[in-house]
Amino acid sequence: MAYYALEQFSLCAERLQQALALNPGNKDTEKDLERTTRKYMQGKLFYDQQQQEETSYTTCGIWATASFVNCSCLRNRHRSCIGDMLIVRAGRDLGASTELVFSYVLLEETLRYKETQKSLSYWEPI
C-alpha cells in the first residue's frame, strides 16, 4: 500500500510540476507546495493501513475552473470524477448567491467538526 501511495504522489507531483512550468512564478511558492504536499503524503502513508484503504483517493488532477471554489470544513456540495471530467453538485437546496464550498477532506457522516480540525492540524498555510 505504501508503494501505491508513493506512486500516486509521484504522479501528482509530476502534474503539479507541469502546471508550475506552464505558470512560472515565485520559487518560494513552488518550495511551499512541495513541502506541504510531502508533509500531507507522509501523514497518509503512516495511517492505519485498513483505514487508508477505505479512504484513499486514486485520482489526481488540476481543474482550473473548480479551483475558484473555496474550501471549508463544512461543505455544501459534492464532487466526483469520471475519467478527466469533474462533476460538481449541490449537497442540499441552496439559496441564490450561496457560495459553493468543497470540503478539505472526504467527510464521513461520523466525523465531527473538531475531528476534522484535528486531522488537518499538520497542514501549514502557504
CA–CA separation, 57 vs 36, rounded Å? 17
The model's pTM? 0.37
Q: What is the CA radius of gyration of the chain?
A: 16
Write out pLDDT tens, residues 15-44. 666 666 655 555 565 566 566 666 655 555
Distance of CA 87 to the CA centre of its chain: 15
pLDDT tens, position by position, 56-69: 555 566 777 777 77
